[in-house]
Amino acid sequence: MRGRSPDRRRALLDAADRVIERDGHEVSMAAIAVEAGITKPILYRHFGDKSGLYQALADRHVRTVIDRLRPRFTEGGGDLRSRARAAIAVYLDLIGANHNLYRFLFHRASAEDSKIRSHMTTLVRGLGEELAQVLVAEGVTPDPVRAQVLGHAFIGMVQTTADWWLDHPGVDPGEVVDGLAEVIVAALVPRPVSPRTATASRGPART
């Protein structure tokens, strides 16, 4: 909100981070306020309301993840498999190190608040669109529609698989990375043109 100190706002978000990581994603807003040394109404006042607090946390952490992933998409060199593995490994490392915050944002906050659910969807969708643009720009998938389909599919696949992995901490993250990279690379292999498709593209045969 206007007139609020950015340093104070940052300190309140730091307090929210600490208590969520310590106590889990079901932590109450009252507990966050206690951690910050203020009352719950004052906490909300700094962010407008509970939705504003959720959005501030989402911007802080989800944008950090996106900023860490973006270079893995756009950096040149390297084969597709190695680049896919690098991006997925970065994502798993980030959410594995902050699993309670991840669950708070993607499950708790998104379930409670339609505004934050829409906001989170917009952030994730934007990442899928960026990936699609990279696929087209590099000539991996020249068809822009197919690139959009694959870009959003890859982001959704990695996100849901990562959710499963967080619930199975005994699974080696390397196995998850390898499995997802294999699917991505397989989907990007150029599709052979079937005789039927080729005939259709030439139009009807003349008699």
pLDDT tens for residues 145-161? 999 999 999 999 999 99
Same domain, 85 and 181: yes
Q: Select from 125, 122, 134 the least CA-distant residue to 184.
A: 134
Do 102 and 44 share a structural domain? no
71: which 2 tokens?
Answer: 């270079």
Contact 154, 73 (CB under 8 A): no
Give the total number of structural domains in the chain. 2
Per-residue confidence at 67, pLDDT binned at 50, 70, 90? confident
Does 36 lie in the same domain as 103? no
In a domain, 88, yes or no: yes
- Given a cut of 60, whether residue 202 has pLDDT beyond it is no
Same domain, 98 and 39: no
pTM as predicted? 0.80
Residue 20 sits in the same domain as residue 100:
no
pLDDT at residue 207 greater than cutoff 50 = no
Please report, for the domain that includes residue 16, its CATH number.
Answer: 1.10.10.60
pLDDT number for residue 66? 84
In the listed set 48, 67, 84, which residue is the last one of a domain according to the structure?
Answer: 48
pLDDT score for 200: 47
User: Residue 109 has what pLDDT?
Assistant: 87
Residue 125 and residue 142 in one domain: yes
Q: What is the pLDDT of residue 187?
A: 92
Q: Is residue 73 part of a domain?
A: yes
40-54, 112-126, 161-175, 184-198 — most confident range: 161-175
Calculate what percentage of the chain has a pLDDT beyond 70: 88
CATH code (residue 105): 1.10.357.10
> Does residue 199 carry a pLDDT above 60?
no
Residues 17 and 119 in one domain: no
3-state SS, residue 114: helix
User: Does 64 lie in the same domain as 107?
Assistant: yes
Clarify whether residues 59 and 104 are in a common domain. Answer: yes
In a domain, 129, yes or no: yes
The verdict on 119 and 96 lying in the same domain is: yes
Q: Is the residue at 198 inside a domain?
A: no
Flag whether pLDDT at 78 surpasses 90.
no
Distance CA 25, CA 35 (A): 15
Q: Please give the Cα distance from 184 to 79 (Å, whole number).
A: 12
- The string of pLDDT tens digits covering residues 94-140 is 999 999 999 998 888 888 888 888 988 898 899 899 999 989 988 88
How far is CA 163 from each of CA 16, 97, 106, 182, rounded to the nearest angstrom? 22, 13, 10, 19
Chain segment 5-41, per-residue pLDDT in tens: 788 899 999 999 999 999 998 999 899 999 999 999 9
Measure the CA–CA gap between 14 and 21, rounded to whole angstroms. 11
201 part of a folded domain: no
| Proportion of the chain above pLDDT 90, given as a percent | 46
Does residue 130 belong to any structural domain of this protein? yes
**Is residue 73 located within the same domain as residue 135?**
yes
- What per-residue confidence (pLDDT) applies to 32? 93
Q: In which domain, by residue range, is 17 found?
A: 1-48
Q: Give 196's pLDDT tier (boundaries 50, 70, 90).
A: low
The structure tokens 């991840």 sit at: 102
- Residues 44 and 66 both lie in one domain: no
Instruction: Report yes or no on 207 lying in a domain.
Output: no
Note whether residue 160 is domain-resident.
yes
